[in-house]
């Protein structure tokens, strides 16, 4: 049931973003999502979204309140933001998806600090980044 609620929240969030983009009534979160889309996939991805209403698979719905801890909010598209995988994991979850979220991202400035970190490609570091291949 929770997986279905998560999928529904993502689908509703995408539909809402597309509607607001077409109407010109975007929120700050919408602008943020489209900026992330352009920075990760280029301007053509934004055009593709405007034409099709579809986002790349790596754009996830990040719940502001952890779905496992607050299942009653899991389906609510208004209580989250669409963003790319790395921003979801590193910014919203602070690199640890086991720590519940309670309304705010845990490390919103992760991208600003990212360039100062040195990460290798060891299995442990890839696990930490949520990029395991096993």
Is residue 43 within 8 A of residue 115, CB to CB? The reply is no
Q: Where are the domains of the chain?
A: 2-128
Which tens digit of pLDDT belongs to each residue from 23-52? 999 999 999 999 999 999 999 999 999 999
Quote the CA–CA distance of 105 and 90 in Å, as a whole number.
Answer: 9
Beta bridge partners of 62: 81
**pTM for the structure as a whole:** 0.76
pLDDT digits (tens, 9 = 90+) for 110-128: 777 654 343 444 555 545 5
What lies within 8 Å, CB to CB, of 2 at 6+ separation is 67, 68, 71, 74
**Comparing C-alpha atoms, which of 115, 113, 114, 95 is closest to residue 105?**
95
Strand partners, 69: none
């Amino acid at each position: 049931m929770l997986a279905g609620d998560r999928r529904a929240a993502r689908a509703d969030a995408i539909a809402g973003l597309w509607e607001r983009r077409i109407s010109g009534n975007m929120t700050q979160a919408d602008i943020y999502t489209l900026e992330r889309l352009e920075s990760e996939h280029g301007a053509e991805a934004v055009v593709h979204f405007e034409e099709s209403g579809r986002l790349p698979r790596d754009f996830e719905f990040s719940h502001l309140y952890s779905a496992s801890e607050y299942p009653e909010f899991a389906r609510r598209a208004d209580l989250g933001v669409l963003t790319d995988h790395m921003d979801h994991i590193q910014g919203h979850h602070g690199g640890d998806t086991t720590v519940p979220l309670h309304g705010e991202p845990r490390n919103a400035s992760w991208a600003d600090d990212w360039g100062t970190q040195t990460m290798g490609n060891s299995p442990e570091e890839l696990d930490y980044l949520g990029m395991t291949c096993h």
